[in-house]
Amino acid sequence: MKLTADVGIIAAGPAGLCAAVSASEAGASVVVFEKANNVGGTANMGMGPFGVESRIQKAAFSNLTKEDVFRKFMDYVHWHTDARLVHEYFWKSGETIDWLEDMGVKFAGAVKYFPDSEATWHVVQPEDGSIPGPRAASTMNRILYRRAQELGARFLLETPATRIIKEDGKVCGILGKNAQGEEVELRCKAVIVATGGFGCNPEMIREYTGLDFGKNVFNFAVPGIVGDGIRMVWEIGGAKGRMSIEATGGVSPIGDSDPEAIELRGVFSQANLTVNKQGFRICDESIMQNSSVAANIIDEQTGKRVYNIVDDSIIKRFRRNGMPFSSNVFGSGNIDNFDERFTKLTELYPDCYYAADSLEELADKIGMNRENFVETVEEYNDACDDNYDELFGKNRKYLLPYRGKRFYAAVGCIGGYGTLGGIKVNWKQEVVDTEFNPIPGLWGAGSDINEIYDGTYMFYFPGNTMGFAVNTGRIAGERAADYALSLED
């Protein structure tokens, strides 16, 4: 099959979809190759993108400005990133939320992810009117898909791109293979790559991040996201970008899809006593609400594991008073029959959940240093009695003593929402070669080019990776269309 277009787009995740809409809006003809049999990619599992100074935030009297966000973000990443690329993203982001709204996407609001974060997470209101939760953003993807098609973009589903065509130093097409096994050749003036990283490729994860998939990192491995775009770009001389896991630490990516494990996760997302294999405390546990910081804390521990502890007296308090941290991501907060339900989980996932009738027995089951652990609990109970955490200064409202009869532990480890980076771009999102010269006709967008966090995902401004994907997708579409339409046929 042979096709022509102004702009060819590799992949229809949120970055590719936004690129398809914006390039079409600019008047370019567009063909999109998508490997899966549906669109939206990883973002179908998520809830919404980042934005600052959106209409929604202004209507809520938010006083957060682009300038504030930019300065805080750049300080957070030690300016170890391309400041102009970050500027382009943040300055576009509020208006992109308005653009999505004008297309028909409804947002339930701009909210925080955890108490110390900012209300930048624009959570999508699902089309069916249900309360927003995981998968809410699939509605946004469906609306983008519809809009791109209305504007004339053509989508080739189940047609992975296999190669970028470059002739006389310029990018001029894409090769792919459709579901019937036929080769598809698109000749075009500009190409945008947005294949979402390599989160489902254990070899690449090991080689480029040093982590071991399924052993010490537990990615949400979306099938098909195996680094194709990165490989295709490197093959034609594109430079390597900095690569990392979009790490999230918490309890517990093992047994992740088990609905009961998700339901009870609210208990272990609290600022409970958390210890390492040596039985020592490692931080003010309330800090672990920021799950990318939690990933770093866990990364420092033996076996990259920590143990979040509760007992029956604490469960009783949670049932009576509610849990201090609530989240619409994990569970409804129902902890009735906790012992029975948790004990079942210990049978299903013996390396992840532990229950015992004494602290000593719990330590032995985990394989933890029993003397240190018992001493840690004694010291922690003293801190609770004194209402003062001398070690880490944890807020006294989280200081609950361990004086029950039955003890529970859940493992915390490093998970990944996916991966970040791989394709090097300049601030205009032009893919560059190893000398930082742009490769004519080639743009990147989304997670494939996202190396803006200096290693630790910036959760204080939640919605940041989907935000980066929709904004860099939209910008790449505009720039690629502009370039393609300026060339003579």
Ligand X SMILES: Cc1cc2nc3c(=O)[nH]c(=O)nc-3n(C[C@H](O)[C@H](O)[C@H](O)COP(=O)(O)OP(=O)(O)OC[C@H]3O[C@@H](n4cnc5c(N)ncnc54)[C@H](O)[C@@H]3O)c2cc1C
Binding site for ligand X (CB under 6 A): 10-16, 33-36, 41-43, 45-49, 160-161, 194-196, 220, 224-225, 228, 417-418, 446-447, 463-467, 469
Closer to ligand X by CB, 20 or 315: give it.
Answer: 20
Cα gap 107→35, rounded to integer Å: 28
CB of 142 to ligand X, least distance (A): 13
Give whole-number Cα distances, 313 to 224, 326, 358, in Å.
Answer: 46, 20, 13
User: 203 or 357, CB closer to ligand X?
Assistant: 203
CB closer to ligand X, 54 vs 464: 464
CA nearest to 248, candidates 413, 100, 394:
413
Q: Provide the b/e sequence for 364-375 (b: ≥16 CB within 10 Å).
A: eebebbbebbbe
Q: How many residues does the chain have?
A: 489
Cβ 201 vs Cβ 58: under 8 Å: no
Contacts of 461 (CB under 8 A, 6+ apart): 50, 52, 69, 72, 73, 117, 118, 120
- Gap between the Cα atoms of 479 and 487, Å rounded: 13
* Shortest reach from residue 218's CB to ligand X, in Å: 11
CB of 77 vs ligand X, minimal distance in Å: 16
Q: Tell me how far, at minimum, the Cβ of 45 lies from ligand X, in Å.
A: 4
Residue 287 CB neighbours (<10 A): 16
Cα end-to-end distance, the chain, whole Å = 21
Whose Cβ is closer to ligand X: residue 441's or residue 444's?
444
Instruction: Name the residue nearer to ligand X (CB basis): 124 or 362.
Output: 124
Residue 141 near residue 43, CB atoms below 8 Å:
yes
Return d(Cα 102, Cα 263) in angstroms, integer: 35
Distance, in Å, from the CA atom of 257 to the CA atom of 400, rounded to the nearest integer, reads 30
* Minimum distance, C-beta of residue 228 to ligand X, in the bound complex (Å): 3
Rounded Cα–Cα distance for residues 75 and 96 (Å): 24
Using the minimum distance from each CB to ligand X, give the nearer residue, 36 or 297: 36
Q: Which is nearer to ligand X, 94 or 160 (CB)?
A: 160
Strand ranges (E), 215-322: 218-219, 244-251, 274-275, 305-311
DSSP state, 241? P
Minimum distance of ligand X from residue 102's CB (angstroms): 21
- What is the rounded distance in angstroms from the CA atom of residue 439 to the CA atom of residue 273? 52
Half-sphere exposure of residue 145, counting CA atoms within 13 Å on the CB side? 19
Q: In whole angstroms, how close is the CB of 197 to ligand X at the nearest point?
A: 6
How near is the Cβ of 244 to ligand X at its closest, in Å? Answer: 13
Q: What is the SS3 assignment for 127?
A: coil
Residue (160 or 477) nearer to ligand X, CB: 160
Q: How far is the CB of 12 from ligand X (least distance, A)?
A: 5
CA dist 290 and 284 (Å) reads 12
Q: What is the C-alpha separation between 329 and 110, in angstroms, rounded? A: 15
Taking the least distance from each CB to ligand X, the nearer of 6 and 34 is 34
Nearer to ligand X, 253 or 279 (CB): 253
CB of 15 to ligand X, least distance (A): 3
Closest approach of Cβ 195 to ligand X, in Å?
4
* Residue 269, both tokens: 């997302």
* Backbone phi and psi for residue 30, each to the nearest 5 degrees, phi listed first: -135, 135
How does strand 407-420 pair with strand 107-111? unpaired
Our CB check for ligand X shows the closer of 194 and 283 to be 194
Give the residue with the Cβ less far from ligand X, 104 or 133.
Answer: 133
Locate 48 and state its tokens. 């919404």
Instruction: Give min distance, CB of 284 to ligand X, in A.
Output: 26
